[in-house]
Structure 1
Amino acid sequence: MNGFSGDPVLPGFRPDPSVCRVGADYYLVTSSFEWFPGLPVFHSRDLVHWRRIGSALDRPSQLDLGGCAPSRGLFAPTIRHHDGVFHLVCTLMDGPGHFVVTATDPAGPWSQPHWLDGEGFDPSLFFDDGAGGGMDGETDGGADGGAHGGDGRAWFTAARVLDEAAGRTEIWMREYLPRERRLTGPEHVLWSGSHPGARWSEAPHLYKIDGAYLLLTAEGGTDVDHTVVAARADRVSGPYEGAPGNPVLPPAQGPVTCTGHADLVQTPHGDWRAVLLGVRPGSALGRETFHSRITWDDGWPVFSPVVHTGHRRPVHDDFATLCADWNTLRTPRTRFWTTGDGLRLRLRPERLGAHPAPSLLARPQEQPDCDVSTELHFTPAAPEEEAGLAVVLDDDAHLLFLRTTEGLSLRHGSEVLAGVPVPPGPVRLGVRIRGFGHTFTHAGPDGAWQDLTTVEASFLTPLFTSVQLGLYATSNGRPSTRHAHFAWFDIRYPSKEEPPGQQRG
């Protein structure tokens, strides 16, 4: 199979999914890079309809993302459940590296990070079956680290770079002690790709199926050459033999591309499914989470997409509380927002474009076409005071539609793209997004919407992250005690019959 179609089960900024099942319940986590709260956690009963239940890193005391460069931070988590405890491993890039957090309730609270030894990225955990020494991490194993498997031990795997320029990597493994949250014993190199010259063998996951160990990896990089590769062994430490038909999921050709980074899960009925990332080209949505049905051919996985039409639920948020879908860019050192009667953002010296966390709250864009609007109650008292609507990929790539002392100003970085004077008082700000076309519009509280300009924003093309839509305020390097008040925030999706236009009047 080399074509994927249908809608993602988790649209928008939901890359690198990992899934586990406990009884009838599925739990899924995705990468979050430099955005906070980190590592969003979702729940489902059918692998199609998901609800966010929290984040594994939701307290500044757990981990500080301050200073993380764009598309760095938290890479490729894996979630697993063992003996009543959820274990979630991840890598903080440009930081101490691998860590594990644990919880008995996936909605939280999750523990402080326990840092783990070893190089690389894309960590995973595998809890072997069977009985014997090391079931609870009480022993370090023998000379081979217990690598015959089947003895109830746990194993940590990750990818590491051998040659950055050539994209050469390898998959390595060590024993993981669940009670002590640490690695022990010797290291085993499991895999370096499906063929000589293979690029970016990464995202390893181990499974035990019908008595054999299955290693699933990604290969080819996370762009259009992204694939899924499988290998099998009689012992957990190998040697691993690749599937004769590798890649088992070749580069995608169709309405969904870049498919890969898959994680398998068995349903209560005994069949197998996968979650994986994919991209819908032509927009700034980036890597999203898709769902695949798994069948087996001579013990090797065969991927078939589960085609469904996602329900595009409009968003109307009057900020009675701050729901879990809102994020900040990096870890906020102090809380800069209040809710209850709309949203109030404190004007702070921090600005978007520098690495400290600015006064920005944003949520992922989930569809290629959408209409975004808000009502802003704010009159700047000084030239440095600004607030408004933000379309943000990262520090360097964003569009800001701001209320200033001179009226409304649309900016790309330091470049002013358009502006218009407006009278004092509340103002509505909006943007109609159609792929990479962004039409900015404004209105008085009870007036008609007026288009300002349209920007072809191909510079919002994502690599690892994707566009977030949100609200922003700054005092641009000067101290301030003032707030910008946003009465509500809306995201609407145009119907096929409806001409493009702002839906909220």
Structure 2
Amino acid sequence: MKTFRNPIIPGFYPDPSICRVEDDYYLVTSTFEYFPGVPIFHSKDLVNWKQIGHVLDRPSQLNLDNTPPSKGIYAPTLRHHDGIFYMITTFVVSQEGRRKNFYVTATDPAGPWSDPNWLEDAPGIDPSLFFDDDGTVYYTGNRQPPEGQKHLKHMEIYLQKLDLEEKQLIGEKYSLWDGALKNAHAQEAPHLFKINGWYYLIIAEGGTGFTHSVTVARSKSVLGPYESAKTNPILTHRHLGRDYPIVNIGHADIVQTQNNEWWMVCLGSRPYGGGYRNLGRETFLVPMAWEHDWPVINPGKGIVEEVMNFPNLEEVKWASAPSRDDFDSPNLGLQWNFLRTPRGDFWSLTERPGYLRLRAKEDVITEQHNPSFIGRRQQHTNFSVTTAMEFKPVQDFDSAGIVLLQNNDFQFRMEYVRDQGEHVIRLVKRAYGKEEIIEAIELETEQLFLKVEASGQDYSFYYGLSNDSFKTLASDVSGIILSTDVAGGFVGAYIGMYCSSNGQQSNNKADFDWFEYAGLSKNI
């Protein structure tokens, strides 16, 4: 029996939502404070995915200015109806948590997508759309129950009609369900389906951490009442213990294949090195069946496994993305992201063809702004990153190099700087907002090769004047500060290039000839 390995999309790709159009499958995930927002993937077999774009790839669609870490774009839902793709999501605006819900549309999932249609009086997070047989379009989201919360984070799922002509919610809000579990909290991520005459409401309960779960209710009427499955939660890993290889399973969406199989996508994490989750929340795939008009997840086992039987679909593999980006294209590869919406002409692939040029910005990566940083997700527990950089720090506040980032207060910076007139390559650890220089070595050069190797939670940092003559800057440095378990929040670790003038004005720049990211052997 042919098998596949979970996760199907490794690294920080949480809150997956999926839809099928004939024999093509499309999937989106959350992006929080990163730009472009909402990557969209394409598959023919549910296992092999390739990214085809970002849904929110223009500043007019996504203004992330001053968005705090782990705010921004939450939990998109992807749907297709009458030739149009719909992506609906929540923008969490500020640290105070003000929420704004909107949707965008496209006829081609690779884009372009429309500018946002902002919905008035749409409280809560994790919105979803459902297109009923009679043409009515329904919006589902979560909110505090109108009669008040019975306990902390007690929420309910509600429903309201959406007028696609007016692009606004209309009519009454209907309370549908406040979950299956006694004293459950964080009822969210509702997805509504009509299958064999039943309306099914699949939601997440228990928060996004260890107690995360998937529950289901059904009704013969879209307005309810909804009957909770006696088997709830239909999927969770909290009973398996914190040392299980896959934890915090939840936030699910389902799809039926053209061969009448049912599958569920959900998020989960793979802790390592003492239970730390540097990779963030990833996208997993698990089979689903129906018994007595109720869903059963992975029959006989009820959990998400690392190795599972392949769907009854012809396998279609895509060409693997190259591990090395030589920056020969005039456009950034889809793996690259900015912190918040990029403002100003601080980067270029054309000023010096064959190089990524980053100009020094006053914005620093230790604050909640838009620094001169371009990064990609960590996707392996064991990996190697190498880059070739040309940079000369002219003033004491000029710096450039590699950043390993969880957020502005938890990061490693391997940077080339001028310190009191001396040129220095150094490793800076920032944790809980405080900085420590782990190592600093005087070095005179204008071309520098930088390398990071991770073996689990042991991170080693190297520098050299060529790509075959590396010296150790620091070895076996604990990387647990790059995990959400230490730093908090909802995102995974990023790795990238940056250039900064650290709050001062500067005309300096750093040119990166290439950047290579490769997973190493013995990865989980």
Cα distance in 1 for partners of 2:187, 2:60 equals 33
Q: C-alpha offsets along residues 25-67 of structure 1, whole Å, 9 cap, x if unaligned? A: 1111100000000111111111111111111111111221011
> Structure 1: any 5+ residue segments left out of the alignment?
130-150, 498-505
> TM-score, normalization: structure 1?
0.90
Kindly indicate whether the alpha-carbon contact (under 8 Å) linking 1:60 and 1:333 is maintained by their aligned counterparts in 2: no
Residue 168 in 1 paired to residue 194 in 2? no
**Amino acid across the alignment from 1:443:** G
Report the equivalent of 1:74: 73
Instruction: After TM superposition, give the deviation of residue 263 of structure 1 in Å.
Output: 0.2
Report the equivalent of 1:200: 186
**Amino acid across the alignment from 2:377:** P
RMSD of Structure 2 on Structure 1 (CA): 2.0
Which of residues 139, 156, 171 is equivalent to 2:139? 156
Report the equivalent of 1:480: 506
Kindly indicate whether the alpha-carbon contact (under 8 Å) linking 1:175 and 1:185 is maintained by their aligned counterparts in 2: yes
Bigger shift: 302-311 or 14-23? 302-311
**Amino acid across the alignment from 1:180:** E
Kindly indicate whether the alpha-carbon contact (under 8 Å) linking 1:388 and 1:400 is maintained by their aligned counterparts in 2: yes
Report the equivalent of 1:459: 481
Kindly indicate whether the alpha-carbon contact (under 8 Å) linking 1:96 and 1:115 is maintained by their aligned counterparts in 2: no
Kindly indicate whether the alpha-carbon contact (under 8 Å) linking 1:43 and 1:50 is maintained by their aligned counterparts in 2: yes
Which of residues 392, 398, 411 is equivalent to 2:405? 392
CA change 1:164–1:42 in 2 (3 A) is: farther
Report the equivalent of 1:16: 15
Report the equivalent of 2:301: none
Cα distance in 2 for partners of 1:47, 1:25 equals 9
Question: How many aligned positions are there?
Answer: 472
Instruction: After TM superposition, give the deviation of residue 196 of structure 1 in Å.
Output: 3.0
Q: C-alpha offsets along residues 323-382 of structure 1, whole Å, 9 cap, x if unaligned? A: 011000000122321113121101111110222200000011111110111111111111
Q: Secondary structure, in 3 states, of the residue corresponding to 1:459?
A: helix
CA change 1:450–1:165 in 2 (3 A) is: farther
CA change 1:96–1:244 in 2 (3 A) is: closer
Kindly indicate whether the alpha-carbon contact (under 8 Å) linking 2:200 and 2:216 is maintained by their aligned counterparts in 1: yes
Cα distance in 2 for partners of 1:10, 1:89 equals 21
Cα distance in 2 for partners of 1:342, 1:65 equals 27
> TM-score, normalization: structure 2?
0.87
Instruction: After TM superposition, give the deviation of residue 492 of structure 1 in Å.
Output: 1.9
Residue 40 in 1 paired to residue 39 in 2? yes
Report the equivalent of 1:138: none
Q: Secondary structure, in 3 states, of the residue corresponding to 1:97?
A: strand
**Amino acid across the alignment from 1:280:** R
Report the equivalent of 1:243: 229
Cα distance in 1 for partners of 2:282, 2:373 equals 23
Kindly indicate whether the alpha-carbon contact (under 8 Å) linking 1:42 and 1:52 is maintained by their aligned counterparts in 2: yes
**Amino acid across the alignment from 1:229:** T
Instruction: After TM superposition, give the deviation of residue 393 of structure 1 in Å.
Output: 0.9
Report the equivalent of 2:314: none
**Amino acid across the alignment from 1:278:** G
Instruction: After TM superposition, give the deviation of residue 176 of structure 1 in Å.
Output: 1.1
**Amino acid across the alignment from 2:323:** V
Instruction: After TM superposition, give the deviation of residue 205 of structure 1 in Å.
Output: 0.3
Report the equivalent of 1:337: 347
Q: C-alpha offsets along residues 283-303 of structure 1, whole Å, 9 cap, x if unaligned? A: 400100011111112111112
Report the equivalent of 1:318: 326
**Amino acid across the alignment from 2:356:** L
Cα distance in 1 for partners of 2:473, 2:295 equals 52
Q: C-alpha offsets along residues 409-463 of structure 1, whole Å, 9 cap, x if unaligned? A: 1112332121112221311111111222211111111542222213212222124
Report the equivalent of 1:87: 86
Q: Secondary structure, in 3 states, of the residue corresponding to 2:481?
A: helix
Kindly indicate whether the alpha-carbon contact (under 8 Å) linking 1:314 and 1:493 is maintained by their aligned counterparts in 2: no
Report the equivalent of 2:313: none
Report the equivalent of 1:363: 376
Kindly indicate whether the alpha-carbon contact (under 8 Å) linking 1:401 and 1:409 is maintained by their aligned counterparts in 2: yes
Q: Name the % identity.
A: 42
Cα distance in 2 for partners of 1:247, 1:96 equals 28
